């Protein structure tokens, strides 16, 4: 996969990032040769029907959504697709909500609906929902008739800043997450920040953990902007949300483009994820949201970086402060022990030749490394500092 990003926003967001983007969407162009696509970001974009309609090829659309999102946004999306566009007919399939339904049985419901509706190769699948819906709808679009058009309308911050770039789609197997899937690019991603108004606060904050991550690993300026604007983000200010999502998508696209094969640089997108994954596994999936575990994981990775003498104490403090502003946790659940961390981390995918490689901050704010070359004592000290036993 070749991926380059061109930050050709149609408004000069960097000069006045907090202004509400009424009317003109911010656009991030993901450059993938003949599979390039735009990410539209802004308030009220679902009311700009032309944005969606210009990316619908063929006359039939299948909207894939879930029981939580359908009552709130399905009618709006159907209207956006069909208003002034009588040639298009829209079908929908409403899946149960939750990661536990991200499996082959649920995927078959999408195929069933597509086939019963006699959709052909010129149809378009639209994913309306969070990351689970995006992953499943994308994989269904990749597989139906060996590939049909696909549009993403992500409705969570996590899906907007993480799933909009990279083309990863798929489902879980009972023995592991995301083991079956495809790399498949959408025609466009439409992010209407107004859909975040109905997002529960914990989920909003969970998404901000990933936004904060981009600042910490590679974009000090963005981090500083977040420090000044976290209140606006938590208040769901459309201009602030648009800017944060735009910068996150641009950062992800740049990293992916520089390292398509996930050899090194791309791993840095997983800052905090190794510690976080241990928390999710030990504490039980579904207890904590992904971003909550990542937030604590980042605090632990930063603590370790400091113990190694790789960063200044001010970074430790600023990271904790901004995560707390976002109402994210900064310590693991009390029931998670040092041993639990060690046993989960021992089987991490980033273990090579028995050595666990970690993403750690090093140098001034916005710099990190992916390395197995660190003093094991620092890791032990961090684990003991964060666990009661």
Cβ atoms < 10 Å from Cβ of 221: 12
Residue from 24, 115, 235, 385 touching its own copies (CB under 8 A): that is: 115
CB of residue 358 to its own copies, shortest distance in Å: 20
Residue from 12, 179, 258, 355 touching its own copies (CB under 8 A): that is: 179
Residue from 49, 109, 168, 362 touching its own copies (CB under 8 A): that is: 168
Contacts of 280 (CB under 8 A, 6+ apart): 288, 290, 293
Q: Are strands 37-42 and 188-192 parallel, antiparallel or unpaired?
A: parallel
Residue 108 interacting with its own copies (CB under 8 A): yes
CA-CA distance, 231 to 341, in Å (whole number)? 33
Element (H, E) at 124: strand 124-129
CB of residue 143 to its own copies, shortest distance in Å: 5
Token pair recorded at residue 22: 């009424």
Report, as residue numbers or ranges, the catalytic residues.
146, 168, 210, 252, 262, 266, 270, 273, 277, 290
Residue 116 interacting with its own copies (CB under 8 A): yes
Are 275 and 375 within 8 A, CB to CB? no
CA-CA distance, 21 to 42, in Å (whole number)? 6
Residue (of 134, 120, 126, 135) closest to 59 by Cα position: 120
Residue 173 interacting with its own copies (CB under 8 A): yes
Residue from 7, 145, 338, 356 touching its own copies (CB under 8 A): that is: 145
Residue 33 interacting with its own copies (CB under 8 A): no
Residue 350 interacting with its own copies (CB under 8 A): no
CA-CA distance, 177 to 117, in Å (whole number)? 30
Residue 176 interacting with its own copies (CB under 8 A): yes
CB of residue 170 to its own copies, shortest distance in Å: 6
CB of residue 319 to its own copies, shortest distance in Å: 32
Closer CB to its own copies, 71 or 147, in the complex = 147
CB of residue 279 to its own copies, shortest distance in Å: 24
Residue 122 interacting with its own copies (CB under 8 A): no
Residue (of 352, 362, 344) closest to 307 by Cα position: 362
Q: End-to-end distance of the chain based on CA atoms, in angstroms?
A: 45
List contacts with its own copies (CB under 8 A): 104, 108, 111-112, 115-116, 139, 142-147, 168-170, 173, 175-176, 179-183
């Amino acid at each position: 996969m070749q991926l380059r990003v061109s930050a050709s926003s149609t408004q000069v967001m960097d000069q006045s990032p907090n202004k509400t983007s009424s009317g003109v969407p911010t656009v991030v162009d993901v450059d993938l040769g003949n599979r390039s696509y735009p990410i539209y970001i802004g308030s009220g974009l679902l009311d700009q029907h032309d944005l969606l309609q210009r990316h619908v090829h063929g006359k039939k659309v299948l909207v894939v959504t879930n029981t939580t999102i359908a009552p709130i946004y399905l009618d709006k999306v159907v209207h956006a697709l069909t208003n002034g566009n009588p040639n298009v007919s829209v079908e929908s399939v409403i899946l149960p909500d939750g990661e536990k339904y991200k499996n082959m049985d649920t995927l078959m419901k999408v195929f069933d609906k597509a086939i019963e509706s006699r959709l052909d190769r010129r149809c378009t699948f639209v994913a309306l929902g969070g990351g689970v819906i995006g992953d499943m709808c994308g994989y269904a679009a990749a597989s139906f008739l060996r590939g049909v058009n696909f549009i993403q309308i992500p409705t969570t911050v996590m899906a907007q800043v993480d799933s909009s770039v990279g083309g990863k789609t798929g489902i879980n197997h009972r023995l592991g997450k995301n083991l079956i899937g495809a790399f498949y690019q959408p025609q466009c991603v439409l992010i209407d920040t107004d859909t975040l108004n109905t997002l529960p606060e914990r989920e909003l904050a969970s998404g901000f953990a990933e936004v904060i991550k981009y600042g910490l690993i590679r974009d000090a300026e963005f981090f500083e902007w977040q420090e000044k604007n976290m209140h606006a983000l938590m208040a769901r200010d459309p201009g602030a949300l648009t800017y944060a999502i735009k910068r996150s998508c641009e950062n992800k696209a740049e990293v992916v483009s520089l390292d398509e094969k996930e050899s090194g640089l791309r791993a840095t997108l997983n800052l905090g994820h190794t510690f976080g994954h241990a928390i999710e596994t030990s504490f039980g999936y579904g207890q904590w949201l992904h971003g909550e575990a990542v937030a604590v994981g980042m605090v632990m990775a930063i603590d370790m970086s400091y113990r190694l003498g790789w960063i200044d104490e001010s970074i430790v403090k600023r990271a904790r402060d901004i995560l707390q502003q976002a109402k994210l946790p900064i310590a693991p659940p009390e029931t998670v022990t040092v041993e639990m961390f060690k046993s989960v981390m021992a089987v991490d995918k980033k273990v090579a030749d028995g050595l666990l490689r970690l993403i750690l901050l090093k140098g001034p704010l916005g710099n990190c490394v992916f390395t197995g070359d660190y003093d094991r004592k620092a890791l032990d000290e961090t684990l003991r500092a964060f666990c009661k036993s």
